Amino acid sequence: MAAILQTHSLGISFGGLKAVQDLNLTLNEGDLVGLIGPNGAGKTTVFNLLTGIYLPTTGDIIFKGESIVGLKPYQIAAKGITRTFQNIRLFGELSVLENVLIARHLHVPYNMIHAIFRLGKFYQGEKEMRDEAYELLKIMNLAHKAEEKAKNLPYGEQRRLEIARALATHPSLLLLDEPAAGMNPRETTELMELIGFIRSKFNVTILLIEHDMHLVMNICEQIYVLDYGANIAHGTPEEIKNNPRVIEAYLGEGA
Ligand SMILES: Nc1ncnc2c1ncn2[C@@H]1O[C@H](COP(=O)(O)OP(=O)(O)OP(=O)(O)O)[C@@H](O)[C@H]1O
């Protein structure tokens, strides 16, 4: 299977702190891969590197055969890498539907002139976008909340809306940063099923940071473990569960 993303000796230091070091990650098309590790291990920093928020100190990131190091976040998004955030970032005052539409606008196939003069193509584009946004909301079981302000949704629904918004940009690689954080067990189970469904429905590769071990172990085929910025293990959930270095890293945290 073809690799969609590879990192080669990827690293970043902040002053003396090696937040991520020598990371060699391979994601094949259609993979659902977990990135785990104790607090402060460097997981979110990896996402910040992959999305162009941070420039690596060492190494390279190859996405679809090309280096994306040095590209701006919006250029990387346009190439097909989209993420959600650990701290939800929605437009609280806008409706659920508008939140999805705004994301979709990144990828509208008409130019400014059409938008300014509101020519036919603009309306056609608008209608298609709205239809598609509704479809996404239906899949995420949020269609009945389309007109509500995002800030009024319960936490679990806000998390699902974040995923809908990410999908609206048509990513080929979706990075989910703790999608189950703050969810109750029932919501987490539903989310687990949803993530598997999204992967096949949208043909998307998924890299997932998550502290909920039940979720990670159940849905990911491969798991990378970080500890103090270093990749201490990589393997199937079964291999990871029984890996002494992983157990030690987590026990050290008191988990
Ligand atoms: N911009 C920055 N400047 C300085 N230090 C940073 C910066 N970003 C991250 N770090 C440090 O890098 C290390 C890794 O942080 P990161 O947020 O990636 O960890 P994490 O594994 O995502 O943790 P958590 O599970 O708690 O979210 C931490 O020590 C953090 O303080």
Token digits of residue 39: 């607090």
**Which tokens go with 98?**
């508008």
pLDDT digits (tens, 9 = 90+) for 33-52: 999 999 999 999 999 999 99
> Could you tell me the two tokens for 60?
């390279």
The preferred substitution site among 23, 43, 46, 212 for testing ligand 1, maximizing ligand atoms within 8 Å of CB, is: 43
Bridge partners, residue 164, by sequence: none
Q: Is the pLDDT of residue 4 over 80?
A: yes
The model's pLDDT over 77-118, given as tens digits with 9 standing for 90+, comes to 999 999 998 777 888 999 999 999 887 765 544 444 445 455
Q: What is the mean pLDDT of residues 186-210?
A: 93
Return the ∠ at Cα 60 (arms to 54 and 62), rounded to 5°.
105
Mean pLDDT of the residues in the chain: 89
Task: Count helices and strands (H / E) in the chain.
Answer: 10, 11
55 pLDDT tier (thresholds 50, 70, 90): very high
Task: Find all residues with CB under 8 Å of 245, minimum gap 6, and list them.
Answer: 225, 227, 232, 233
255 — pLDDT class (breaks 50, 70, 90): very low
CATH homologous superfamily of domain 1-80+171-255? P-loop containing nucleotide triphosphate hydrolases (3.40.50.300)
Per-residue model confidence as pLDDT tens digits over 22-33:
999 999 999 999
213-230: pLDDT as tens digits? 889 999 999 999 999 999
Pocket test residue of 45, 46, 210 for ligand 1, highest count of atoms within 8 A of CB = 45
Contact predicate 100/168, CB 8 Å: yes
pLDDT digits 0-9 by tens, 143-167: 999 999 999 999 889 999 999 999 9
Question: Taking residues 119-144, what's their average pLDDT?
Answer: 80
The reply to whether ligand 1 has any atom less than 6 angstroms from the CB of 42 is yes
Q: Do 197 and 174 meet the contact criterion of CB atoms below 8 Å apart?
A: no
Look at residue 113 in the predicted model and tell me its pLDDT: 46
Q: Which two tokens stand for residue 50?
A: 């992959």
Q: Is the model's pTM score more than 0.80?
A: yes
Residue with tokens 């209608």, as numbered in its chain: 127
- Which residue, among 173, 171, 193, has the nearest Cα to 183 in the 3D structure? 193
Residue 129: pLDDT band (50, 70, 90) is: confident
Residue-range domain boundaries for the chain = 1-80+171-255, 91-165
